[in-house]
Structure 1
Amino acid sequence: MSEHTWWKEAVVYQIYPRSFNDTDGDGLGDIPGITEKIGYLDDLGVDAVWLSPVYESPQYDNGYDVADYRSIHSEFGTMDDFDRMLERLHDRDIRLVMDMIPNHTSSEHEWFQRSRSEPEGEYGDYYVWREGDPDQPPNNWESAFGGSAWTYDEERGAWYLHLFDVHQPDLNWRTPEVREEIYDTMNWWLGKGIDGFRLDVVNLLSKAEGLPDGDPDGEWVGSEFFVDGPRIHEHLGEMHDEVFAGTAAVTVGEMPQLDIETARKYVGDGPLDLVFPFEHMDFDFGEAGRWDIGSWELTDLKSILDRWQRGLEGYAWNTIFFENHDQPRSVSRFGDDGEYHYESATALATVVLTLRGTPFVYQGQEIGMTNSTFESLESVRDVDTVRNVRELIEDGLIENYEAIRPVVEYRSRDNARTPMQWDDTPHAGFTDGEPWIPVNDDYPEINVARQEGSASVLSYYRDLIALRRGTDALVRGAYDLFHPDDEQLYVYTRTLEGREVVVAINFSDGDRRARLDPLHAEASLLLSNYDDVADAPDGAVELRPYEARVYEQSQ
C-alpha cells in the first residue's frame, strides 16, 4: 500500500447534518446548510467530510434507520441538493465519505414490509426471523439500546432480531440477495462520485448458526455470537471484491468490542482500509458498565493509545479521534470545560492531530463545544439514552431520572448532537426556527464568530492542521512514547528521515517543570497553545496547565 494514499494524509471532519446548519427554518440542519459552510471547512483545512446519514428515514435513530438507501430524507433536501454539495466540496478538493448502514434497515423499509407480509416471498429471508412462543424470545440476546434484541411481529407471527432499536431490524447476511442489494447500493453511490464509506457496526453482520444464548453476565449479552461472527471475513472480502477493488475509495469500519489482534485481520491486508476502535472510549465506564462513570488516570489513556499505535504499526493505519456523533464532548470528558477550556481543548486537539493515523474531527470539536444539561428524561432526544434509562428504572436499579442524571449529562449521545454554535444570535445562528434539540446554554461564549480572528480553539485547530499538512513526520513518521508512567506528562515523538517532532503536553491543571527525555537543546518550537513560551534556565521545560508544545529537531 502506498505511503501516499490520500486517506493517510487526510484530516476528516464529521458532519451530523440535522445539527450542523439549517437554511429553511424548520429547526433541522440540511444539505444546503452544509453547502453554505463549505468555505468554513476549507478555511479549517480539512481534506474530507464524513457525512452522517441523509437517506430517507423515519428518524427513530436519527437516520441510522434507513427506509430507502437511494433517496434523500426530505427534511434534509433533495438529491439535486446532494449533487450540488458534492460538486462544491470537490471544487475545494474536499472528499466526501458517506455513512453506510449494512447491518440493519428501518422497519419502514420496503424490504421489511414485504418480508413481514410475505414470509414465502422474495423478501421473506431478508431479515433474521424466528418462529416461536410470542411470550418467549428466541434467545437472551440484548439490544445495545437496552432490553431484548427480539420483537414479536403479529403480522408475520414471528420474532425479528434488532441489535439496536426496535425500529431497526437486522438484515440476514446469509441471504445472497441481501448482500447483492447492499453492494449494488454502494456501487450506485460510488458512481455518483463519492469517495468512500464509513461502515456502521460492520463487524456485526454475521450471526452464529443456531443463535445460541449468550453469557447472561456479559457486558452485551449475546455479543460473543454476533460480534466478529463466523462468516464476517467472507462477507467483507466479498464486499471488497464487489465494490472497492480497483478504486481509490476509502472504507472505514465502525467495530464494537474490537481488539488489536482482531483489527489486524480487518485492515492492512484485510478487506478494510481503516477501523474505529473504541477501547479509549470505554475505559471510563464504571463498575456497572456504560451507564456508570468510572475514574481514570492519564496513564490509562496513554497506555491504550500507545498499544494501538504500536499494535498496528507495520500492519495497518490507525484512526485518531476523541469525538463523534455517539460520544460526549471530549473537553468535558477528558479535559476541563471550565477554567482551562481553551487550554485543555487545544491539548486534546494536539493529540488527535499529531499521533500516527488519520485524524477525525467532529463538528464543534474545533471550537471546544461542551457537554450540555438535560433537566428531565423528556428533554433527552437520544433513543439509546431514553430506552436504557427507562429500563434501569423499570428494573428497580435506580429510583428515578435524577438518580442517573449526572451519568446522562456525562455520557449521553445528545451531548454531541446539540446544534453547531455559529454565533451568539438566538439558537447560536443554527436556525431561524425552533431547533429540534436545544442549543447548549454556553453558545454566547463558545461559537465560531467569537473565535474568528483571535487566539482561540478554532485558530489553534487551523494552525495545527496546517502544521500537520506541512510536516511529513506528523503524517508518516515513526512513533515512540516517553514518560509512560507520568500522570501529568504526555510526551511522544514522530520521526522521519532524520527529522524528529517532539510533542509534549501537560495534561493537568497544575504547573509541571520537567526534563523531557527526547528533547534536544537545539530543538525549535513549531507550535504551542500558549503565547509566551520560554524554557527554564537549566534546560528543563516549564509546562503550565494543559500546555501543549510541538518541537522539531534533528534526530
Structure 2
Amino acid sequence: MSLPVTRRSRLRDLLATPVGRDATDKVVLFSGVPAWVPRLVGGLRLDTLDRLVRPIVGEGLVDALIGLANAGLGSAAQDEPSAGEREPVTGPQPWWRSAVFAQVYPRSFADSNGDGIGDLRGIIDHLDHFTDLGVDALWLSPVFDSPNRDMGYDVRDYRAVMAEMGTLDDLDELIAGCHRRGLRIVLDLVVNHTSTEHRWYQKALADPDSAERGYYFFRDGNASQPPNNWNSFFSGPAWRWEPSANAWALHLFDQNQVDLNWDNPAVRREVADIVGWWLDRGVDGFRLDVINYISKQPGLPDGHPFVGRLFGFTGIEHYFHGPMLHEHLAALRRDGFTRPDGTTAVMIGETPGIGIETGRLLSGAGRGELDLVFNFDALETPGHTRWDDYRYNLGHLVDFWLDYNARVTDDWVALFLENHDNPRMVSKVAGQRAADPAVRVRVARLLATLLLTMRGTPFLFQGQELGAVNEPFRGIDDLRDVESLNRYAELVAGGMPAAKAWRQVLAGSRDHARTPIRWTEHQDDSSRWLRGHDRTPGFSVEAQRDDPRSVLAWYRALLALRRAHLALATGDIECVHRSRDLVAWLRSSPDETWLVEANLGGRVRRRPRLGVAAVEVLATTTGGDAARLAPWSAVISRLR
C-alpha cells in the first residue's frame, strides 16, 4: 500500500498513486500540455509546484489533487494489491473477454408499427442481422418506462417497458430470441439518477418525513442560491429548486434526472433488487450508466474553479471517483449481480472521467467490482473536446489502446469507437473527405480492422458496420438531443453568434449517432422521431448485404476470422512497429501468430520492414503495391 501523499511529497509520489496519476493525465489531456512534462518535473515538491502554478490556476488545485490521490488510497482499494502487483488470469476466460458486443439504440433501430419510433418488435424482426454479422452479444440502450426527457436515461419505472418500445412480453420474447440464436443480451441500467416522475421522487416531494426523502440529495435553502457551484452536464447549475419542498435537489444531468443518494443503504438494496429481478427474466448483465458518479464527497463541497474551467464541469473532482465508489460496486456485485448458483452476470461500467489506472482498480478480476469499464480518453486527442470541429488523429487511438494493454494483468480492455453519445468516427477521421464514398469505405474498413484485431472486448454501435457518417443537419430544429439543445441555448444566451453556436453544436451532437438505421436505399425517414438526411448510395443494409466489397462484408469477414482464431480474440499483443502513421502488432497464442499492419493516415506510406515471414489473409485494399500501404489501409497476415 502506498503512503499518503502530502504537500511535502514529490510530484512523482502523486503520480505513483492510481488516482493521482490519472488526475494528472486528465489535466495533460484537456490542457494539451505535452505528456512528458509531469515526468520531467517529477522531482518537484508539491508545495513548490503549488507556488509555481498558483498564479495561473488559483488556490487549491494541488490540494485537490492530493485529496483525490489519498481518497483512492483510503477506499477499498487499499486492501487489495496494486494494479502492477496483480497476476494475469489463468485458466478458462470469462465469456465476455472473447465476445464482440453490438450496441442497439432501440428508438432508431427498426420501427415495426410505423409510429416513427423504433421498438422491441423491430429488434426481434432483425435479430438475424446480428447473427449474420457474427457478433456474440447485444447491448440495448434504455427500454425502461421513461418520460424520455433524455431518451430513456431518465427512468420512471425500472420494472416496466416504455410504451413506445412495446411490452414486457416483447422484451421476454427478445431475450428468448437472442438465446435461441446463441446471443447474449445486456440491458442499460441507469441508477445514478432517476426521473423526477419516478414514484420514489414523488413520495420524497410529497412527504419530507418519508423514507424516500433520503433517496435523493435534498438541501434546504432559498430559490436564489444553489447549495454549491456544481454544473450540470446538460448546462446550468446542477440543482433544481422545488418550491413545494422549499429545497434544492441535485441533478448532474437534466433537471428532470435527479441523483440518487447511494450512501443510503435503502437505495443500494433497491438497485440490487432491480438487478436480480431482471436476471431472473434471463438478462445476461447490464451496462451501468455513469456508474462512477454514484459516490459523492460528503458535504458536497464547492468545486475548484480551475478544474471547472479545464474540464467544463465545476465540481467533477468531488464525484468522478468518490470515497465509497469501490465499496458500493462490490456490494452491488455481491447482492445484485451474483446469482443463487454463484455465477455472476456481466457488469460493464460507463465511467466518464476515469483514467487507465483507476479503471484498472475498478475492473480487476480479483477485486469483485466491475468486469469492464468504458474509458473515453481515446475518443478525443489532447486539447480537444467533442464540441471541437477537428480532424482526429488515429495515432492517438492506437497509442492509447497499446498503452492500456501494456499495463493489463488481471483486468481487460473495453474497445469502442462509437456509441449513442458520440459523433461518427469515420467523419472525425476523414472530415470533408468522407463525402467521397471510396474514402468513406477505406476509413470504415480501417477502423473495423483496428477495433477487431486489438486485444480487448470490442463494442460496435449500430450503423458502424455500414460505414455510417455524421448527418448533414441543417439547423437546430433538426435536433432532438436535450444536451445539444441546452448547449445551443446557453451559448446564444451568453452572446455567441447563432451561426458559431450552431457549428459547435453540430460538431459534437449526439444526434449524429441516433438517426435511424438505413435498412433500404430509398428509406423514407420523414415521419421518424429523428430524421436521417444522409442518402449516399451504397450505405444501406439493402445495398451492402450481398456486396462482397462493402463495409458490412468486411465486418463479417473480420468477425469470422476473429471467432475462428483465439489469438485474435484473447491472445497476447506485441507492438513491433510504430512511426508516424504506421503501426504493426502481433497477436499470438501458443498455436499461432498473426501480424496486423496499418496505415493510419491519408497518404501512401512505405510498408515497414519487419523481418518476418507471413502469408497475407485479409487486406482492406487489393491490387496495390506490396511494398506500400495505401491511405487508411490495413493488412492482416498469418506468420508461417
TM-score tier, shorter chain, comes to over 0.9
Q: Which residue of 2 aligns with 1:475?
A: 569
Residues 300-449 of structure 1: pairs in structure 2 closer than 5 A: 300-311=396-407, 313-335=408-430, 336-339=433-436, 340-396=439-495, 398-400=496-498, 402-427=499-524, 434-442=527-535, 444-449=537-542
Counterpart position of 1:538: none
User: 1:278 aligned to 2:376?
Assistant: yes
Distance in 1 (CA, whole Å) between partners of 2:538 and 2:197 is: 42
Aligned residue number for residue 29 of structure 1: 118
Deviates more, 1:65-74 or 1:314-323: 314-323
Identify the residue that residue 69 of structure 1 maps to in structure 2: 158
The Cα RMSD (Å) is: 1.6
Partner of 2:597: 504
What residue in structure 2 maps to residue 257 of structure 1? 353
Equivalent-residue separation in structure 2 for 1:310 and 1:407 (angstroms): 36
Structure 1 residue 82 displacement after superposition: 0.7
Is 2:234 aligned against 1:140?
A: no
Q: In structure 2, what is the Cα distance between the partners aligned to 1:296 and 1:487?
A: 14
Q: Give the aligned partner of residue 617 of structure 2.
A: 526
> 1:227 is matched with which residue?
320
Report the alpha carbon displacement of residue 337 of structure 1 after superposing the two structures with TM: 1.9
1:88 maps to 177
Say if 1:423 and 1:443, in contact at 8 Å, map to a contact too.
no
Matches within 5 A, 1:282-293: 282-283=380-381, 286=384, 289-293=385-389
One-letter amino acid matched to 2:460: V
The residue that corresponds to 1:495 in the other structure is 588
The corresponding residue for 2:13 is: none
Q: Which amino acid aligns with 1:53?
A: P
**2:297 match:** 208
In 2, the alpha carbon distance for the partners of 1:457 and 1:228 equals 39
- Which residue pairs with 2:136 in the alignment? 47
Shift of 1:296: 4.9
C-alpha contact (below 8 Å) 1:297/1:487 kept by paired residues: no
**Residue number in structure 2 paired with 1:188:** 277
Q: Deviations over 1:481-522 (max 9, x none)?
A: 2333x22213212122152211111122222223343x51x3
Compute the displacement of 1:479 (Å): 1.2
Instruction: Please say if residues 285 and 292 of structure 1, whose CA atoms lie closer than 8 Å, have aligned partners that are also in contact.
Output: no
CA distance 1:43–1:297, shift in 2 (3 Å): closer
Give secondary structure in 2 for the equivalent of 1:334: helix
- For 2:417, give the aligned amino acid: F
Distance 2:161 2:412 in 1: 32
* TM-aligned CA deviation for residue 316 of structure 1: 0.6
Confirm or deny that 1:150 pairs with 2:204. no
For residues 296 and 531 of structure 1, the distance between their equivalents in structure 2, rounded to whole angstroms, comes to: 26
Q: Which amino acid aligns with 1:277?
A: N
Q: 1:21–1:29: 8 Å Cα contact kept in structure 2?
A: yes
Q: Secondary structure at the match of 2:637?
A: strand
TM-score, structure 2 normalization: 0.82
Q: Can you list the C-alpha shifts for 1:287-335, whole angstroms capped at 9, x where unaligned?
A: xx44334565343333222221212x21311111100000111111124
In structure 2, stretches of 5+ residues that fail to align are: 1-88
Residue 123 of structure 1: SS of its match in structure 2? Answer: helix
The question of 1:544 aligning with 2:630 is answered yes
Instruction: Name 2:553's counterpart in structure 1.
Output: 459
SS where residue 267 of structure 2 aligns?
Answer: helix
Q: Deviations over 1:404-446 (max 9, x none)?
A: 3333332110000000011123326xxxx71001113225431
Compute the displacement of 1:262 (Å): 0.5
Structure 2 counterpart of 1:483, which letter?
A: H
Residue identity (%): 40
Q: What are the superposed Cα offsets for residues 16-72 of structure 1, whole Å, 9 maximum, x if unpaired?
A: 000000011110000000000011111001110000000000001000000000000
Are 2:639 and 1:553 equivalent residues in the alignment?
A: yes
Deviations 1:190-249 (A, max 9, x none): 000110000000000011111100012221210111111011111111101102232241
Q: Which moved more, 1:205-214 or 1:243-252?
A: 243-252
Structure 1: distance between partners of 2:504 and 2:470: 12
Deviations 1:386-416 (A, max 9, x none): 11221122122x211x113333332110000
Q: Secondary structure at the match of 1:35?
A: helix
Q: Which piece of structure 1 moves more, 466-475 or 289-298?
A: 289-298
Unaligned runs of 5+ in 1: 536-540
Q: In 2, distance between residues paired with 1:379 and 1:188?
A: 38
Distance in 2 of aligned mates of 1:530 and 1:290: 30
The alignment of Structure 1 onto Structure 2 pairs a total of residues equal to: 537
Asked if 1 retains the 8 angstrom alpha-carbon contact of 2:363 and 2:371, the reply is: yes
1:543 to partner: Cα distance: 1.0
Where 2:487 maps in the other structure, the secondary structure is helix
User: Are 1:69 and 1:185, in contact at CA under 8 Å, matched by a contact in 2?
Assistant: yes
Q: Which moved more, 1:258-267 or 1:135-144?
A: 258-267
- Report if aligned partners of 2:520, 2:543 keep a CA contact under 8 Å in 1: yes
Cα separation, 1, equivalents of 2:457 and 2:489: 38
Between structures 1 and 2, the one with greater helix share: 2
Contact 2:271 2:336 in 1 (8 A): no
**Deviation digits for residues 428-468 of structure 1, max 9, x if unmatched?**
6xxxx710011132254310110111110000000000000
Paired AA for residue 374 in structure 1: F
Alpha-carbon separation, structure 2, partners of 1:238 and 1:10? 26
> For 2:388 and 2:631, how far apart are their aligned partners in 1?
28
Once residues 112 and 21 of structure 1 are traced to their aligned partners in structure 2, the CA distance between those partners, rounded to angstroms, is 33
Q: Which moved more, 1:316-325 or 1:526-535?
A: 526-535
Counterpart Cα distance in 2 of 1:202 and 1:100? 9
Q: 1:170 to 1:290 in 2, by over 3 A?
A: same
When normalised by structure 1's length, the TM-score is: 0.94
